[in-house]
Amino acid sequence: MVRLVQRARAANERVKVVGSGHSFTPAAVSDGHMISIGALRGIRSIDRTAKTVVVGAGTTLNELNALLHSEGLAMANLGDIAYQTVAGAISTSTHGTGVHLPGLAAQVVGLRIVDGEGNVVVANEHQNPHLLDVGRVSVGALGVITECTIKVVDAFRLHAHEMPMKLDDALANVEELKATNDHFEFFWIPHTRWALTKRNNRTTEPLQPLPKVKGWIEKTFMENYAFGALCRVGRMKPSLIPKLATALPSSGSRTYVNDSYKIFASPRLVRFYEMEHSLPAEHLPDAMCDIRSMVERKGYMLNFPVEVRFTASDDVPLSTSFGRDSAYIAVHVYKGMEYEPYFRDVEDILRGYDARPHWGKIHHREADELATLYPRFNDFLAVRDELDPNRTFANRYTDRVFG
């Protein structure tokens, strides 16, 4: 990898790194060389005193979860998709939910990076701490991340309680719901009054997973195959979508206990386009009401829920939660259906709440606007000039978002 970057630099060619290909943006697209980090896998070392692990950057979160569990360890928080590589998840500010917990990047305490000249750079609290500070969310613009050192916790279980709730009730009680649960999120079903809520709380109760057949039916069949069938019908005949949507909140309540990583992440087999923004948490109810009113006014036919999550403030310069407790609003459109008008309308609403776009999901922001949303944007640009002055790791996407 070092030699490849050095050759590319000498030939004035560009290099991009691809993880699992989960990003909805062209962040990894290259007109030069493309490097896969899939071979950089596995845990390299564990420091049980410091509660840190050194992990190859190409390890998927799925793999890391299983490896950590076998060692009696776990990630403190995770998103709901675990197909991403560690480097990809960190570099795009992947988060999860929980008002007392930041996103994944804030759990990183060390990086090993191949810079734009092909040099191997170590960044931690002792070596190049300014590079660690800035490089934890980098959107692939600083170099090739080859190793990450991550803070972990003892393995734990979650008590999961899932139930439908009227959207107005969820919004009216959102402060209590997010404060009284370790991990709270909800999914509003457009064309209905309903939201599906998820409350996940740490517990010492014995394992009580969903029965194998029941769990497969509810988690895999209903949330993927049956939901996918409804989406395909809606794509063929959009006028049916409001009626089809009424089937989604009818699954009732369910409660179970399982290892944390088995509850945080679930299979996602239905393909879609996604846009997500973070906004100051106190603006969430108003923003959701504005989105609902816009959907009704414009008559969009939407067969995917609108997802809402929460995280604590952190100090990572390009983190979507930098300097503020945040709520996240994610919107989706089924693959093969037009998404841009809806996404742009949602984005325009969220602009009014100083929302920051997720770096790995569809958005239409450019560098001038993004610089106003991140107080330390120029600090990132300065580190980029230090590590990649000749823009070996640039592409059209990084040109757009960083200038």
- The neighbour count for residue 70, using CB atoms within 10 Å, is 10
316 shares a domain with 169: yes
Residue 397 covered by a domain: no
Residue 402 covered by a domain: no
- The CATH number given to whatever domain includes residue 59 is 3.30.465.10
215 shares a domain with 80: no
In tens, the pLDDT along 24-55 reads 899 989 989 999 999 999 999 999 999 999 99
The number of folded domains in the chain is: 2
8 A C-beta contact, residue 90 and residue 314: no
Domain that holds residue 190: 157-357
317 shares a domain with 190: yes
186 shares a domain with 328: yes
Closest among 153, 102, 107 to 132, alpha carbons compared: 107
Residue 265 covered by a domain: yes
341 shares a domain with 370: no
- The CATH number given to whatever domain includes residue 197 is 3.40.462.10
187 shares a domain with 127: no
Is the pLDDT assigned to residue 252 strictly greater than 80? no
Residue 277: CB partners within 8 Å, gap ≥ 6?
A: 320, 328, 329, 346, 347, 350, 355, 356, 357, 358, 363
337 shares a domain with 216: yes
148 shares a domain with 198: no
Distances (CA, A) of 227 to 24, 223, 341: 21, 5, 23
Residue 304 covered by a domain: yes
In tens, the pLDDT along 128-142 reads 999 999 999 999 999
CA distance 71 to 155: 8
138 shares a domain with 109: yes
142 shares a domain with 33: yes
Residue 401 covered by a domain: no
Q: What mean pLDDT comes out for the span 96-123?
A: 96
8 A C-beta contact, residue 223 and residue 266: yes
* Token digits of residue 319: 């983190």
Is the pLDDT assigned to residue 251 strictly greater than 70? no
Residue 398 covered by a domain: no
End-to-end C-alpha distance for the chain, whole angstroms: 26
9 shares a domain with 33: yes
DSSP label of 11: T
Q: In angstroms, how far apart are the furthest CA atoms of the chain?
A: 61
pLDDT of 82 reads 81
In tens, the pLDDT along 315-372 reads 999 999 999 999 999 999 999 999 999 999 999 999 999 999 999 999 999 999 999 9
pTM over 0.85: yes
274 shares a domain with 219: yes
In tens, the pLDDT along 166-213 reads 999 999 999 999 999 999 999 999 999 999 999 999 999 999 998 877
